[in-house]
C-alpha cells in the first residue's frame, strides 16, 4: 500500500502519513485505529507505548455489548436480528444448534442472505467423532450425535436447494458455540456439566484495534478450514 493509498483510506493528507513514517510522528488516536484497521494489524504493532496497551485493552472491553448469564435469557429475536443486519458474512459454528435448525424463519433468512451474495457457512459437529461423543458425556445426556443428525435432517431441504450455502462437519473440541453476522457475534460459552442453553452468552461488536472479536472470528476460520463437506449420506444415513 502506498502512502497515497493509506492517506485516502483514512482521509488524511499524504504529507501527514509521510511524517509518521519518516519523522516518527505519532498520529492522533483516531488515526491510529483507522490505520490499524486498514492494514489489518493491532494498533500496538504500529505504535508501541503504554498508553496504546491500555487503550487496546479498553477497546477489547468495549467490544462486549452485553453478557447474558444463560443462553435462554437472550432475547428470542436477537439471533435473527443480528443475522438480518449482515450483508457479507454469516457463520454458525456449533455441535448441533438444533434450536436454530428448527426455526423456519432462520431458514428463510439464510436463503435471502445467500441470494444477496453473503457468504453463509454452517458448521456442525461430525456425529461420529470423539469430540461429539465427549460433549454428550460432559452435558450428561450422551445424545449429542442424535441431535446433530436431527439438525442435518432439518437442514436437508436447504442443503439440496441452495448449494451456495456452505455446510461442513467438524471434529473439533468446541469451547464456545459462535454465531457471527458481519461485525457482530454471539458467543455461547461451553461449561462442563451443563447444556449450552444454561451457559453464558457474550454479545460482541467488532471495533478496530479491539482484538476480542477477531480472536473468535479466527477460530471460525480455522475450524472451517479443517472441516469436511456434508454429503447426502450425512443427511439421510443411507
Per-residue pLDDT tens for 162-197?
A: 999 999 999 999 999 999 999 999 999 999 989 899
Q: Is the pLDDT of residue 32 over 70?
A: yes
Across the range 12-24, mean pLDDT stands at 92
pLDDT for position 55: 63
CA distances from 235 to 144, 148, 152, 157 (A): 16, 10, 5, 10
pLDDT for position 43: 77
**Residue 124 corresponds to which cell in the numbers above?**
456442525
Kindly give, in sequence order, each residue whose CB lies less than 8 Å from that of residue 71, ignoring residues fewer than 6 positions away. Answer: 188, 196, 197, 198, 199, 200, 201
24-33, 41-50, 151-160, 182-191: segment of lowest average pLDDT: 41-50
Across the range 114-142, mean pLDDT stands at 93
Residue appearing with cell numbers 454479545: 203
Condensed to tens digits (0 to 9), the pLDDT of residues 63-92 reads 888 999 999 999 988 999 999 999 999 999
pLDDT for position 10: 86
Across the range 207-215, mean pLDDT stands at 82
pLDDT for position 238: 59
Portion of the chain with pLDDT greater than 90, in percent: 68
Across the range 109-124, mean pLDDT stands at 95
In this predicted model, which residue has the larger pLDDT, 201 or 29?
201
| Cα–Cα distance, 212 to 227 (Å, whole number) | 24
160 CB-side CA count, 13 A: 11
CB 220 within 8 A of CB 155: no
Is the full-model pTM beyond 0.85? no
Q: What is the mean pLDDT of the chain?
A: 90
Kindly give, in sequence order, each residue whose CB lies less than 8 Å from that of residue 103, ignoring residues fewer than 6 positions away. Answer: 80
pLDDT for position 148: 96
Which DSSP symbol is given to 26?
P
Across the range 195-212, mean pLDDT stands at 88
Amino acid at each position: 500500500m502506498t502512502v497515497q493509498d493509506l492517506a485516502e483510506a483514512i482521509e488524511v493528507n499524504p504529507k501527514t502519513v509521510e511524517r509518521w513514517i519518516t519523522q516518527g510522528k505519532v498520529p492522533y488516536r483516531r488515526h491510529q485505529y483507522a490505520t490499524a484497521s486498514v492494514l489489518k494489524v493491532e494498533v500496538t504493532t504500529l505504535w508501541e507505548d503504554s498508553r496504546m496497551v491500555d487503550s487496546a485493552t479498553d477497546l477489547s472491553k468495549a467490544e462486549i455489548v452485553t453478557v447474558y448469564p444463560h443462553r435462554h435469557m437472550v432475547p428470542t429475536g436477537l439471533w435473527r436480528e443480528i443475522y438480518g443486519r449482515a450483508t457479507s458474512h454469516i457463520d454458525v459454528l456449533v455441535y448441533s444448534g438444533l434450536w436454530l435448525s428448527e426455526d423456519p424463519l432462520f431458514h428463510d433468512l439464510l436463503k435471502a442472505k445467500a441470494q444477496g451474495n453473503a457468504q453463509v457457512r454452517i458448521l456442525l459437529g461430525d456425529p461420529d467423532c470423539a469430540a461429539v461423543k465427549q460433549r454428550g458425556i460432559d452435558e450428561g445426556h450422551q445424545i449429542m450425535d442424535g441431535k446433530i443428525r436431527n439438525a442435518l435432517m432439518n437442514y436437508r431441504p436447504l442443503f439440496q436447494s441452495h448449494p451456495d450455502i456452505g455446510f461442513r462437519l467438524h471434529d473439533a473440541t468446541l469451547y464456545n458455540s459462535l454465531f457471527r453476522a458481519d461485525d457482530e457475534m454471539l458467543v455461547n460459552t461451553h461449561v462442563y456439566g451443563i447444556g449450552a442453553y444454561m451457559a453464558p452468552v457474550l454479545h460482541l461488536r467488532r471495533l478496530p484495534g479491539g482484538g476480542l472479536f477477531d480472536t473468535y472470528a479466527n477460530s471460525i476460520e480455522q475450524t472451517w478450514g479443517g472441516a469436511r463437506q456434508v454429503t447426502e449420506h450425512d443427511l439421510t444415513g443411507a
